[in-house]
Amino acid sequence: MGILWQAQSLDKHSLLPAAEIKLEKILNRGSVVYTHVNEVWPKVYIGDEQTAKDKLLLRSLGITHVLNAAEGTWNNVDTGSDYYNDMDIVYYGVEAEDIQTFDLSQYFFSAAKFIHETLNKLLVHCVMGRSRSATLFLAYLMIHENMTVVDAIEHVKKRRRIIPNWGFLKQLRELDQHLLERRASAES
């Protein structure tokens, strides 16, 4: 089965596969109103920079682990493990850019492992809590909860307004295909 390509008006040179357009349509079909933080899974929250830097809020939520999907210096959240020294928080940072060409898939399995091994409350965040952090959490649902990319998106969008960029949607679709093939061969 070949991939259908459809022109999209993101820029003059963008061609987007129909599969990503389908995922975008699912994302745009009804969702909750954007807030700074939402519980998207038992004991797992997706939030933004404001949430990540609000130590009082993190304490009130009982957050014990933080996955920063926007570690770094440009268009990122500059918390790092030192920021949470006084809070006894386990920190994991991913230095990722929210651009279509960034390969976030290189962090799918390590971030999913961190999320899976967290026994208490976890905040997964990036600058807006809508693209990088959402993508890593969607990958977790696909890897550890055996969800398809569509099921994972449907689950999260009922709880948080998310908008992974086109490149991240493509990477999630590729992960979905890889996991489906792996599960099919394991059943054989």
Cite the active site residues: 126
Least Cα distance to 172 among 133, 146, 142, 129 occurs for 142
For 25, 94, 183, 187, the CA distances from 173, given in Å and listed in that order, are 14, 21, 15, 21
- Tokens 């398809």 — which residue? 148
d(CA 78, CA 73): 6
